[in-house]
Chain A
Amino acid sequence: MFRRYVVASYLGIKSAGYRSVLTILGIAMGLFLIITLIAVGEGVREQVTAEMNQLGPDVLSVFVNSNTSESGDPASSLLAQNKKSVLTIDEIDIVKNTDHIVETAPIKYLSGEVKYKDRITTPNYIIATNDNYPEIRNLEFESGGFFRESDDNSSVLDVVIGSATKKSLLSDDKNAVGKILEYKNIKLRVSGVLKEGSSNNESMTQGNPDNILLVPFSVESDNTTKFLYSAILTKVNKVDNVTSAKQMITDSLKRFDQDKEYKVQSQDEVLGSTKTVLAILSSLIFVIAVIAVIMSGIGIMNVMIVAVTDRTKEIGIRKTVGATSKNIFWQFSVEAIMMTLVGGLIGVILSVVASFIIKYFVPIQPIIEPRLIVFALGLSAIVGFIFGTGPAIKASRAEVVSALQTDHT
């Protein structure tokens, strides 16, 4: 019986000609929109999550909560901060000596211009840190490696530059390692170049994170600020111990200085706002998807109402030869589902093609997983059934005699 519904539906769809084609195209475009948006959204989410995960779930960041640092301009704020808004060596020692802590990297945000010959650039981030930093941050290098703290006292300081900084100063020079840069009249030797995207992390919200310069602490000669730090990154021995380590650090620091408002954050907390943004993005995609589904549904409903009206006589004839209301209902439902499924299939194909095009032109990797295709086709069938139900019920309720008397065949 199902095969006959399919054959009858095929003939019905075929006989409606352009009307069917346009309806199927409408559904295809709706599904294309939904799949592509979800794929792009998923791609963005994956990408952002991957970048954020560079920090690792076993890392805690410690800083002092102050209005200045909340304003989001840490690079220029340090000098203006008093001791109540920065961290000192004592506090670093407290963190370092807390149970479960295996590595600690104090960091200090600096600012200024960097020169190479006649080229000058202002990195978005200049960070002074120690050699624990690359492991805590999971840094990856395009060439060279991180500087060693033992080099701190040499006349030329080894530094690491980001890929964008390298591009600004050295263009596409393949031999960036060893080049001598200048920062505040201090000679800096490039010991490594970071891979593009490698330095990105949750705190880098201003500008391209690849435009970065990592320097040893000895780059700073001003004794009034030399031993003051913006934050401490610290690695816990096990993810399971993150919560207790966080509590212990908080308690110890509080005992050390009750007046300071210390903040100890795990990755989950740091990612909080990013997750909120992603949630908003997901909600937006969901809303657009719902609108696209409703529009596709209205399209199919419209064409099915016309089909039922056009084929009233056929309904009468079918009932005359023994079709029940249920038979008629399913015939038109199958027809609606067939149209939406074909539309859905075209939408899937268009989305796959679009995802390749997007990958080529935009640095986003849309993700179309098999389950998304199954979901899209399932959604198509459901839309066909739900929005085809009204017309199908109308068809099934047609009175035989009056249906036979209509002009439509």
Chain B
Amino acid sequence: MDSISGKSNNQRVFGSEYGQVGSLQLEFISRSFEVDGSVVDALSDVNLKIDSGEFIAITGQSGSGKSTLLNILGLLDSPSSGKYFIGTEDVSRLSSTKKAALRKNKFGFIFQNFNLLDRYTVQQNIELAMAYQHVSKKTLNGLALNLLRQMGLSDKANIKPHQLSGGQAQRVAIARALINSPPIILADEPTGNLDPASAREVMQLLRTLNHKGTTVVMVTHDEVLAEMADRRIFVSGGKITEGTADV
């Protein structure tokens, strides 16, 4: 894998020119679901502040609510109550279109199961993240190929994701998350399906991105990986029990 340091026009995704988006701040966020007629609280009155440029690990047992927390942070899900500020803007009650625009411009998502589309090539999967932006095909191709080169996957551009190893697939997913130069990366168990060597590579990538100014919020149940973050948050029973920020 090439170094992902240094900047050029095509490498802007790794630079600090992401711009500041301010902090992410949750105030008394609750999220409940109805399951078989009864209400289950996935999150209860969560307060959390994440400063720009931080690397945060959210840990907790399965079903503790950490993924729900990440989904709310990434505007993939809406809280049942409470307020969510990005910078000074309350985004908890935005329309779905405005939330989509924020996801498009502010966030990059990395998932445990990669979420790559098998009918598309590796390059097309990466370009998918820019499908809803006004970018010329030439620029888009350049960005995708440059990311693939930096991920050490230049020769994989035209193959389908199912032909990749787990580590390679996750690097493609990371490339997709980075192509729109997001100031915030949200990673849900990014190493969960990887062997230790690939997991280390992915963590190294995230670490490098964070050093370049990207805010990284990572959900993991791996204590060792969590130690690599600047700050750890422990979620249990839908509440933050350690590392709650002052709000």
Contact = CB atoms under 8 A, between A and B. Distances in A.
Do A and B make up one complex?
A: yes
Contacts of B101: 322, 324
A323 B104 CA distance: 8
Nearest to A321: B129
Interface stretch (B115-123, B207-215, B230-238): B115-123
Interface in A298-342: 313-314, 316-327
Given A317-B117, A401-B77, A324 B96 contact: yes
Contact of A404 (B111, B117, B132, B134): B111
Which of B97, B100, B116 has the most C-beta atoms of chain A within 10 angstroms of its own C-beta? B100
A15 interface: yes
Contacts of B109: 320-321
Interface string B95-117: 01100110111000101000111
A324 B95 CA distance: 10
A321 B180 CA distance: 9
Interface residues on A, range: 20 to 34
B105 A322 contact: yes
Contacts of B71: 400-401
B171 interface: no
Nearest to B108: A321
B103 A321 contact: yes
Given A11-B119, A11-B120, A326 B131 contact: no
A322 B100 CA distance: 5
A350 interface: no
Interface residues of B, number: 29
A325 B96 contact: yes
Interface string A1-22: 1001000100110110000000
B94 interface: no
A12 B119 CA distance: 8
B176 A324 contact: no
A321 B131 contact: yes
Nearest to B130: A321
Contacts of A319: 76, 100, 103
Nearest to B74: A320
A23 B101 CA distance: 35
Which of A8, A11, A324 has the most C-beta atoms of chain B within 10 angstroms of its own C-beta? A324
A409 interface: yes
B115 A313 contact: yes
A314 B71 CA distance: 17
Contact of A322 (B111, B117, B124, B133): B133
B128 interface: yes
Given A321-B103, A324-B97, A404 B115 contact: yes
A307 to B, nearest CB: 11
Contacts of A313: 115, 117
Per DSSP, chain A at the interface is helix
Contacts of A321: 103-104, 109, 128-132, 176, 180
A314 B131 CA distance: 13
Interface string B52-96: 000000000000000000010010110000000000000000001
Contacts of B129: 321-322
Contacts of A4: 131
Contacts of B76: 319-320, 400-401, 404
B129 to A, nearest CB: 4
A243 to B, nearest CB: 65
Contacts of B100: 319, 322-325, 327
B118 A409 contact: yes
A66 to B, nearest CB: 77
A98 B109 CA distance: 94
Contacts of A317: 115, 117, 128
Contacts of A14: 119
Contact of A324 (B117, B128, B132, B134): B132
B118 A320 contact: no
Nearest to B128: A321
Contacts of B104: 321-322
A318 B128 contact: yes
Nearest to A12: B119
Contacts of B115: 313, 316-317, 320, 404
B96 to A, nearest CB: 6
A45 B176 CA distance: 61
A318 to B, nearest CB: 7
Nearest to A400: B76
Nearest to A323: B132
B234 to A, nearest CB: 22
Contacts of A401: 71, 76-77
A327 B132 contact: yes
A223 B103 CA distance: 104
Which of A313, A322, A326 has the most C-beta atoms of chain B within 10 angstroms of its own C-beta? A322
A327 B133 CA distance: 11
Which of B103, B116, B180 has the most C-beta atoms of chain A within 10 angstroms of its own C-beta? B103
Nearest to A3: B137
Nearest to A5: B131
Given A318-B128, A321-B104, A322-B180, 13 more contacts: A1-B134, A12-B119, A317-B117, A320-B109, A321-B129, A322-B105, A322-B133, A323-B132, A324-B97, A400-B71, A401-B71, A404-B76, A409-B117
9 contacts: A1-B134, A313-B117, A319-B103, A321-B103, A324-B96, A325-B96, A325-B100, A400-B76, A409-B116
Interface of A: 1, 4, 8, 11-12, 14-15, 313-314, 316-327, 400-401, 404, 409
Q: Which 3 A/B pairs are nearest by Cβ-Cβ distance?
A: A322-B104, A15-B119, A321-B129
